[in-house]
Amino acid sequence: MGLSEILHQIDNEIAQLQRARFLLAGQEPPKKRGRKPGAVNAKPAKVAKKRTMSAEGRKRIAEAAKKRWAEKKKAAAAK
């Protein structure tokens, strides 16, 4: 029996005990939400959202690149 199976059984027992406690206290057990107890990484990893650059940011980068190339061109012409 693997570690994940043991954890799954423990989670199932905890869930049963919690349901029994709610019934004995005369309360309504909470509705099941999300994944099953003990399900490790049941959902796939989220895909990182693509970042977008503002027009202002693109303009600043373009101006800086033009400035660098102009300086490089000027230095090459001086040699």
How does pLDDT run across 11-56, given as a tens digit for each residue? 999 988 988 888 888 877 666 666 665 555 556 667 888 889 999 9
Is the pLDDT at 65 greater than 90, yes or no? yes
Query: CA 54: distance to chain centroid?
Result: 24
Residue 8 within a domain: yes
Residue 43 within a domain: no
Is the pLDDT at 62 greater than 90, yes or no? yes
Supply the pLDDT for residue 63.
Answer: 97
Q: How far apart are CA 36 and CA 39, in angstroms?
A: 6
Residue 10 within a domain: yes
Phi first, then psi, for residue 53 (nearest 5°) are -100, 140
How many independent structural domains does the chain possess?
Answer: 1
37-41, 54-58, 63-67, 68-72: least confidently modelled range? 37-41
Q: How far apart are CA 31 and CA 5, in angstroms?
A: 24
Which residue range(s) make up the domain with 26? 3-34+55-78
